[in-house]
Amino acid sequence: MKRIGVLTSGGDAPGMNAAVRAVVRKAIYHNIEVYGIYQGYQGLMNGSIKKLELGSVGDIVQRGGTMLFSARCLEFKTKEGQLQGIEQLKKHGIDGLVVIGGDGSYMGAKALTEHGFPCIGVPGTIDNDIPGTEFTIGFDTALNTVIDAIDKIRDTATSHERTYVVEVMGRNAGDIALWAGLAGGAESILIPEADYDINDIVQKLQRGHERGKKHSIIIVAEGVGSGVEIGKQIEEMTNLDTRVTVLGHVQRGGSPTAVDRVLASRLGAYAVELLLEGKGGRAVGIEKNQLVDYDIIEALARKHQINMDMYKLSQELSI
């Protein structure tokens, strides 16, 4: 292993830059050349590849987003696109690849692995929906962004005696909604992993109103449905003044928290270690604060699990 490549793909996540920095500096520490691949798999196919030095990743550990940029690439899902990417890797003499991203990015790494090219997946997504790791890079930062927004919304909800529905990201996973709802004291949390009855939510709001409660916060994960539609339904059924806030892509931005910077640094460096050991087709993660790695193909066959004990606790605390 003399040269490795690194790319970021899919949705950006705070901490990706810290992971890129770790890959570059860990590799150079071991006298391995590193090449950055820009615009994800699209850039790989197009040959947007440039050698990175120590200074290339200076002053980025605190920055959100990704210095390597990212792009969606449907063409890379085809065998022809994958082989075109491998030709570019061979052209630049790259022996192994670190892919930082979510499950869509892992699918690309899986495809390259099946073609015989060694890849290591690093979980970078705010959704926290990658099997095999307790936390993904960017989740903690996004979570704190959401909690900060909930705290601010509660101030105005209290002032105007309103019910607020807050829609958060997470795609098909409810981790952001659950963690933010529990930390923010939400009255109800709607996640894709658990069925809900709108009548139960309405009854809880009505009980609170009867005992003098003046405001409520309801968190809706985007995988459940439209927060706007749920807000309209609640207002029609309760006659309570209801507002809806869709937080959107603000959740992806911002300087990564210390937790995400450290996690990204550990995972990025560990990915390089695996390549140096001659391993490919692996993904890295964190479990009980210990670094782990697992077969990337097996990982994609698993289903992400949410902590249902936390969900039950959130219901018990929001009576």
The number of residues making up the chain comes to 319
Residue 152's alpha-carbon distances to 155, 185, 217, 225, 318, in angstroms, are: 5, 13, 11, 23, 19
Three-state DSSP class for residue 305: coil
C-alpha angle with apex 265: 247 to 111, nearest 5 degrees? Answer: 80
Q: Which string of DSSP letters, residue by residue, matches 26-63? A: HHHHTT-EEEEETTHHHHHHHT-EEEE-GGGGTT-TT-
- Using a 10 angstrom Cβ sphere, with 0-12 exposed, 13-18 middle and 19 or more buried, the burial of residue 11 is buried
- As a 3-state breakdown, the chain gives helix, strand, coil percent values, each rounded to 5, of 45, 20, 35
Q: Which residues contact residue 204 at a Cβ distance below 8 angstroms, ignoring those fewer than 6 apart?
A: 187, 188, 318, 319
CA–CA dist 184, 148 (Å, integer): 9
Token pair 């120590």 in the structure block, residue: 54
Asked if 127 is an active-site residue, the reply is yes
Q: Which of 12, 59, 103, 127 is catalytic?
A: 127
**Catalytic residue ranges:** 127
